[in-house]
């Protein structure tokens, strides 16, 4: 199972002060060094986290593939064609949402998506569609000539108890169906250190794209060291402990 690390929330923290730090490019390099298979970022219409310059720099600096999540709008398509990430993942986007809420309605946007995918293919950029684990959306993904789908694991992540087994079953069946059509299958959204293992065990999923939980974990994995470094600079009685 491959891991794509979404670095959006390093940029979220930076944008809280609209300064330079923490730098998502530096973050991407740490993920690469740690063994991540790809870097994921989402250039949103409202630029709430990743900025245009981040995308240009990421493409230049990292050696592993860059997967750009994006809405299929004219503005972002133009930027993506210019920056040439290895892959784009088309997602639905609403300004008021906190994060990508549901999967893309591929079935309801066949003609538009067919044209967009053809443009990316012509430019040598592979395309994935972020869809709910539903058979009609997967069928439609094949119809519009996508190479891959990323299955939305948000409902699985949000469902507790018996409902979770049902969500897992949907993901397993959707994976099997997508593979039978010749699509590559990735998955992601809401995955964390507690819920990732059953998803990992679904045969056929090639890659998980995970962001928030890894960046959230990094805060506590690094906080003790960060406090010690500051105490050492202050040189008080708690220095060098």
Q: Which of 9, 49, 152, 189 is the catalytic position?
A: 189
User: Residue 193 CB, nearest distance to ligand PXP (Å)?
Assistant: 11
Is 9 annotated in the active site?
A: no
Q: Which of 9, 42, 49, 152 is the catalytic position?
A: 42
> CA–CA separation, 177 vs 47, rounded Å?
35
Q: What angle in degrees, to the nearest 10, is found between the helix axes of 162-180 and 135-143?
A: 20
Among candidate residues 95, 38, 46, 47, the one with its CA nearest the CA of residue 68: 38
SS3 of residue 194 by DSSP: coil
> CA–CA separation, 139 vs 26, rounded Å?
39
Is 42 annotated in the active site?
A: yes
Nearer to ligand PXP, 157 or 168 (CB): 157
Residues that bind ligand PXP (CB under 6 A): 6, 8, 42, 69, 89, 91, 99-100, 130, 150, 188-191, 209-213
User: Residue 238 CB, nearest distance to ligand PXP (Å)?
Assistant: 35
User: Residue 124 CB, nearest distance to ligand PXP (Å)?
Assistant: 21
SS3 of residue 207 by DSSP: strand
Nearer to ligand PXP, 31 or 91 (CB): 91
Is 212 annotated in the active site?
A: no
- Could you tell me if 17 and 60 are in contact, meaning their C-beta atoms sit under 8 angstroms apart? no
- Which of the residues are catalytic? 42, 69, 189
């Amino acid at each position: 199972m491959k891991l794509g690390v979404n670095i959006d929330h390093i940029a979220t923290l930076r944008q809280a002060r609209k300064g330079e730090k923490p730098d998502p490019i530096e973050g991407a390099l740490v993920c690469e060094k740690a063994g991540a298979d790809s870097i994921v970022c989402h250039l949103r219409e409202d630029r709430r986290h990743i900025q245009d310059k981040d995308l240009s720099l990421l493409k230049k600096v990292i050696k592993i593939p860059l997967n750009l999540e994006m809405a299929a709008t004219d503005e972002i398509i133009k930027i993506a064609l210019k920056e040439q990430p290895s892959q784009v993942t088309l997602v639905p986007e609403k300004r008021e949402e906190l994060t990508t809420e549901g999967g893309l309605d591929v079935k309801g946007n066949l003609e538009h998506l067919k044209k967009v995918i053809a443009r990316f293919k012509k430019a040598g950029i592979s395309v994935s569609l972020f869809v709910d684990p539903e058979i009609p959306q997967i069928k439609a993904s094949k119809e519009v000539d996508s190479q891959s789908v990323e299955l939305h694991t948000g409902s699985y992540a949000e469902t507790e108890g018996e409902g979770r087994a049902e969500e897992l079953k949907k993901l397993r069946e959707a994976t099997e169906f997508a593979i039978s059509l010749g699509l590559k299958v990735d998955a992601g959204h809401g995955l964390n250190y507690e819920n990732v293992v059953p998803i990992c065990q679904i045969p056929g999923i090639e890659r998980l794209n995970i962001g928030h939980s890894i960046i959230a974990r990094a805060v506590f994995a690094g906080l003790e060291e960060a406090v010690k470094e500051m105490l050492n600079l202050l040189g008080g009685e708690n220095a060098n402990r």
